[in-house]
Structure 1
Amino acid sequence: MSAFEGFDFVLFGGTGDLALRKLLPALYRRHREATDAASWRIVAIGRQPMSSQEYRHHAYERCCRHLASCELDNGWQAFAAQLEYLQMDAADSQAYAALAALLPAGDRNRVYYLATAPQLFAGICRHLGDAGLATPRSRVVLEKPLGRDLASATRINENVAKVFSEQQIFRIDHYLGKESVQNLLALRFGNALFEPIWNRSWIRDVQITIAETVGVEGRGDFYDGTGALRDMVQNHMLQLLCIVAMEPPASIQADRVRDEKLKVLQSLRPLSADDVAAKTVRGQYRAGAIGGQPALGYAEEPGVPPSSGTETFVALKAEIDNWRWAGVPFYLRTGKRMQERLAEIVVNFRAAPHAMLSGSLPPVNRLVITLQPKESLRLDLMAKVPGEGMQIQPISLDMSYSSESGRRWDAYERLIMDVVQGRLTLFMRRDELDAAWRWVEPILGQWQRQRPPLRPYHAGTWGPTQSSTLVVRDGNTWHEDS
């Protein structure tokens, strides 16, 4: 990591799951490997009463679960020495005087990471401004979900904008911090090989899947008011779609990249009432088995009403009305309690125009970008079967990094360091967020008015059968069925 100035990192929601599972481990890894970390200052804020020493012990116990044994060396002591805990109610304006006392004035980069419920964002920012803590070199990180709809997202953004400029606001989507997503940009724009075929003439369809084996993990109350479309499609999946479909930006500068992503969102074909019925599938998991262990159905989860109509699975077909992508379907699919934990982007190319060679399988060329559980890039090609004759068979070129290239940064490591250094390229601009909500809102509204069937699927499967039908009727199949 290149050297840079010290910074203050203020973590609201410091006792929450995100802070202890992702953010503190990411900060620790960067601290451990940095050569200039002595001037870092980290303040975790929470409502639970405890001293800084008690918090350090608590953080160590929780972070150990998410760090490799080789990482747990003497580096933790150095990291913990720069970690403070402040008990305060983030909604209490008077409490910010204590925070100001911990953050002496100085011309340093300062990050306020809001790992809290989104309804607290506006109040926290207002109190930071009133306390004189929103300095010119301050940045604020907003976690998703940013609102429930366009109106609520607009209210949050307008209130945050009263304190911080757009250049200081980092709307985070951790999927964009994954190495394989950024490698897709390098693959497209760093090579002359792919650009000539990255269009409707040579690409048959694009599939984006984010599948989770977990259920609601004790967050039934939250999730039941959110659902899969708001939780995953409006942010993560549409951002991944933009990375695949965007035009080459003039440069990697933040606004040039975000301009091109915005054009994709504005080119998404709106779904009419008939389209919502024909091109979307809502599902909810029932009892089943994950990894050989029994799993409850969604309606049996703690905090979930037995009669809940919230979707835990969404599949939909999106289309982009522009010159490059006209006629190419983009299939999006996400769900909880599915067969395996998997996040991938699959680009299926069209078949060769003339089948002059024989093979046991239809010739298929595809690019598979795997985001989790292990990040990789793979290109599927056809090659000759060794021996006599000219029969062909599938082979794969694995373009993932080797272990010799060093430890890969976690997505949160990369994004936190981008915030510290003021790099906005991998973060959503406000107009992107608005455009995503404008496309998703009619689907939500139509679901509410029409009450389409909530398709059941058993935990441990790939979702409702209607999801496969959505793709098959176009003559395509999901990647795992190919």
Structure 2
Amino acid sequence: PFGTDLPTAKHLNQVVNKTFRERDTYRIDHYLGKETVLNLIALRFANSIFATNWDHNCIDHVQISVAESVGIEGRWGYFDDAGQMRDMVQNHLLQVLSLVAMEPPTTLDADSIRDEKLKVLKALRPINKSNYQQSTVRGQYIGGFVNGVEVPGYLDEPDANERSKTETFVAIKAQIDNWRWAGVPFYLRTGKRMPAKTSEVVIYFKRQPHNLFGDSFANLPPNKLVIRLQPDEGVEVTVMNKVPGLTTSGSMDLQKSNLNLSFSEAFQGERIPDAYEKLLLEVMLGNQALFVRRDEIEQAWSWVDSIISAWDSSSEPPEPYQAGTWGPVESIGLLAKEGRAWYQSKAVK
């Protein structure tokens, strides 16, 4: 991360800007170089089927999950000071959230896009001591098995401090206080020692107001748009279809189907560049659209610092979760109390 909190980020920005102009400064977040993250802009603004249904009228909620199967990989000294919130949420997850939620930019130039992303970050409802228990879950992995291999718990890693309360898992219910997203929760989830390495954005659309097919399908599931950032980059839409065949009941049998676009299959022969490869080329071209502006970083830190401060004020340790699982059971409750559930990634066979 760029800094460890808002004051250090501001200090770093001041040091950099003493020598380099903002237009000559390229702050890298490698998630912004991923093809599927870039495709969020095309998906939203080049397709009217999505552009006209991308708001609180049609969307029930949004999930953004970034799971890692690895642990701290010998980086105890760094990670115990950072934690998953600073390491992943402040940068990667909030950048993805801002692209999912931003208003249409006037053009595709750097400042038009970054202006809209900044508006999203400013509209995030504060999470602080008064509401963090209802809006966040933090966890710390204990020993378990990942992909059939036994792994140690966080406090059993080499050089570990047995009293550490550093989080290796974070789940957040975020709210964006603007017209487009009023009442639509954004659920963020990221953690280490989870079952698989996978990053996904899942858009859950609202259910139909009336079910015509109650005789055969009592509870129509919502349509979903799944954007796979990694692995098997692609886009998948879940829809309902009639089951072919004859019936004498007068009802119509339905079945859930997936319309799947895999980038590797759709663009055969096209090499998908590495994220850093893309970003380094953009630096050489002088294009800042895929880089984080100073005010974006500081606004993100402002929101994240409030959550970390609330956690630090509590004597409660992070909730334990077994390595190889999807995090603490409390993270399930974050959605379950509102009748929702985390999307089950297909990356885990």
Alignment partner, residue 312 of structure 1: 168
Written as runs of structure 1 = structure 2, the 5 A alignment for 1:51-70 is: none
* Cα distance in 1, alignment partners of residues 220 and 159 from structure 2: 48
Q: Higher relative contact order at CA 8 Å, sep ≥6: structure 1 or structure 2? A: 2
Q: Structure 2 residue aligned with 1:392, among 241, 254, 262?
A: 254
- Among 190, 213, 223, the alignment partner of 1:365 is 223
Structure 2 counterpart of 1:286: 142
What is the deviation of 1:481?
Answer: 8.6
Q: What letter corresponds to residue 106 of structure 2 in structure 1?
A: A
Corresponding residue for 1:187?
Answer: 43
TM-score (norm 1): 0.69
* 2:245 equivalent to 1:383: no
Matched, 1:266 2:96: no
1:272-314: CA deviations, max 9, x gaps? 3131111111100000001111001001111321221100000
Contact 2:65/2:200, CA 8 A, preserved across alignment: yes
Match of 2:10 in 1: 154
Q: Pick from 328, 337, 343 the counterpart of residue 473 of structure 1.
A: 337
8 Å contact 1:277–1:452 — kept in the other structure?
A: no
Which structure 2 residues correspond to residues 442-453 of structure 1 after superposition, within 5 A? Answer: 442-453=306-317
Aligned to 2:74: 218
2:280 maps to which of 397, 410, 416: 416
Q: Which residue number in structure 2 is paired with residue 166 of structure 1? A: 22
1:118 aligns with none
Written as runs of structure 1 = structure 2, the 5 A alignment for 1:96-111 is: none
For 1:350 and 1:365, how far apart are their aligned partners in 2?
7
Q: Which has the larger radius of gyration?
A: 1
Task: For 1:470, give the aligned amino acid.
Answer: L
Give the aligned partner of residue 44 of structure 1.
Answer: none
Aligned with residue 177 of structure 1, among 18, 33, 50 = 33
1:406 pairs with 245, 254, 270, which one?
270
2:145 is paired with a residue of what secondary structure?
Answer: strand
Contact 2:232 2:262 in 1 (8 A): no
State whether structure 2 residue 59 is matched by structure 1 residue 203. Answer: yes
Unaligned runs of 5+ in 2: none
Number of matched pairs: 338
Distance 1:452 1:433 in 2: 29
2:254 partner amino acid: I
Spell out, residue by residue over 1:202-237, the C-alpha distance to the aligned partner (whole angstroms, 9 max, x if none): 100000000000000010111001000000001100
Give CA deviations for 1:129-150 in whole Å, capped at 9, x if unaligned.
xxxxxxxxxxxxxxxx111100
- Indicate if the aligned counterparts of 1:338 and 1:460 stay in contact, CA closer than 8 A: yes
Offset at residue 407 of structure 1 (A): 1.4
User: Structure 1 residue 157: deviation in Å?
Assistant: 0.6
Instruction: Summarize the Cα distance change of 1:185–1:481 in structure 2 as closer, same or farther, 3 Å threshold.
Output: closer
Quick check: 328-337 or 446-455, which moved more?
Answer: 446-455
Identity over aligned pairs, percent: 50
Number of the residue aligned with 2:87: 231
For 2:218 and 2:343, the matched residues in 1 are separated by 18
**CA gap 1:298/1:153 in 2 versus in 1, 3 angstroms:** same
Residue of structure 2 equivalent to 1:60:
none
Query: Does the CA contact (< 8 Å) of 1:219 and 1:303 recur in 2?
Result: no
What are the Cα deviations for residues 362-402 of structure 1, in whole angstroms up to 9, with x where unaligned? 32201101111221111111111111241111111112322
In structure 2, how many angstroms separate the alpha carbons of the residues matched to 1:249 and 1:437?
23
> Residue 445 of structure 1: CA displacement?
0.7
- 1:328 pairs, out of 162, 172, 184, with 184
> Could you state the TM-score of these two structures normalised by the residue count of structure 2?
0.94
1:459 corresponds to: 323
- CA–CA distance in structure 2, aligned partners of residues 462 and 316 of structure 1: 14
Label 1:351 to 1:335 Cα distance change in 2 as closer, same or farther (>3 A).
same
**Structure 1: how far apart are the matches of 2:342 and 2:34?**
23
| Corresponding position: 1:438 with 2:315 | no
- 5 Å-filtered alignment, 1:327-346, equals 327-346=183-202
Aligned to 2:101: 245
Q: How does 1:12-161 map to 2 (within 5 A)?
A: 145-161=1-17
Shift of 1:451: 2.9
Unmatched tracts of structure 1, length 5 or more: 1-144
Counterpart of 2:72, as a letter, is V
CA distance in 2, matches of 1:212, 1:162: 37
| CA root-mean-square deviation | 1.4
Deviations 1:50-102 (A, max 9, x none): xxxxxxxxxxxxxxxxxxxxxxxxxxxxxxxxxxxxxxxxxxxxxxxxxxxxx
How far off its partner does 1:403 sit?
4.6
Q: How far apart are the structure 2 equivalents of 1:392 and 1:254?
A: 45
Q: Shift of residue 410 of structure 1?
A: 1.4
Give the whole-Å Cα distance in 1 for the aligned partners of 2:159 and 2:23. Answer: 39
Report the secondary structure of 1:204's partner residue. strand
How far is the alpha carbon of 1:359 from its aligned partner? 2.7
Deviations 1:436-481 (A, max 9, x none): 0111111111111123331000000000000000011111100119
